[in-house]
Chain A
Amino acid sequence: DTAVSQTPKYLVTQMGNDKSIKCEQNLGHDTMYWYKQDSKKFLKIMFSYNNKELIINETVPNRFSPKSPDKAHLNLHINSLELGDSAVYFCASSQEAGGQYEQYFGPGTRLTVT
């Protein structure tokens, strides 16, 4: 009964490859997010979708492209992977955007680019 799930949990790949991370939430939430946690544990927002519409697009290389096929899914596709993309990527969801609604995080995907 995982609320926010991500696949894969671990992803090891070589520079230049293209990879995707999938995220699904079964909470009925309207808003989903992608965060990146770097090696120093610093968390930063990348994207957010509200009802399948992109509402946040932080300064992220355009090699990163989110896709939301429906409210329950928000996938992250990364082209031409670079060493600096190695990090833990967290998907999250909240009942609504803004307000007092907490964000529920997925377990994270540890991406290692070699």
Chain B
Amino acid sequence: AQKITQTQPGMFVQEKEAVTLDCTYDTSDPSYGLFWYKQPSSGEMIFLIYQGSYDQQNATEGRYSLNFQKARKSANLVISASQLGDSAMYFCAMREGSNDYKLSFGAGTTVTVRA
């Protein structure tokens, strides 16, 4: 079964607007971590933000925030004030359990920021 689901293959957003990227996950382990990575066209993977399952508050990092809804098993990424440089593919990933070392990735969402 797919552990991470990203249902939006591609999105367009106007510069300076906010965009929300959906991510739902599937796990029965009470301890897990959720990550978002950005992959620009140059190919590198850039870590953006992390949310732990026991964290009480939603994670934020600059213009990135994570809308964590535990009951719904969703961890949506919000990018505020989009910039042209935000055009990239975005991956949601999960690590299950405190001793599991691998990241399971979703299929990714391509974001294109329009001027």
Interface residues in chain A, defined as those with a beta carbon under 8 Å from any beta carbon in chain B: 31, 33, 40-45, 48, 50, 55-56, 58, 88, 90, 92, 94, 97-100, 102-108, 110
Name 17 extra pairs, CB < 8 A, besides A88-B43, A98-B97, A98-B101.
A33-B102, A41-B107, A43-B103, A44-B105, A48-B102, A56-B101, A92-B45, A98-B95, A98-B98, A98-B99, A99-B33, A100-B33, A105-B45, A105-B47, A107-B43, A107-B44, A108-B44
Contact A102-B50, Cβ < 8 Å, known A41-B107, A90-B45, A108-B43? yes
Q: A97 with B43: in contact, given A41-B108, A102-B35 (CB under 8 Å)?
A: no
Interface residues of B (CB under 8 A from A): 33, 35, 37, 39, 43-47, 50, 52, 89, 91, 93, 95, 97-105, 107-108
List, in ascending order, chain A residues with CB within 8 A of B100's CB.
98
A103 touches B33 (CB 8 A): no
With beta carbons under 8 angstroms apart, the residue of A98, A104, A106 that contacts B47 is A104
CA–CA, A48 and B39, complex, Å: 21
Closest B residue to A96 by beta carbon equals: B101
CB distance from A9 to the nearest CB of B (A): 9
> Given the complex of chains A and B, what is the CA–CA distance between A36 and B37 in angstroms?
15
Q: List 22 A-B contacts (CB under 8 A).
A: A33-B101, A41-B39, A41-B108, A42-B107, A42-B108, A45-B102, A55-B101, A56-B101, A58-B102, A97-B99, A98-B95, A98-B101, A99-B33, A100-B33, A100-B50, A100-B52, A102-B35, A103-B35, A107-B44, A108-B43, A108-B45, A110-B43
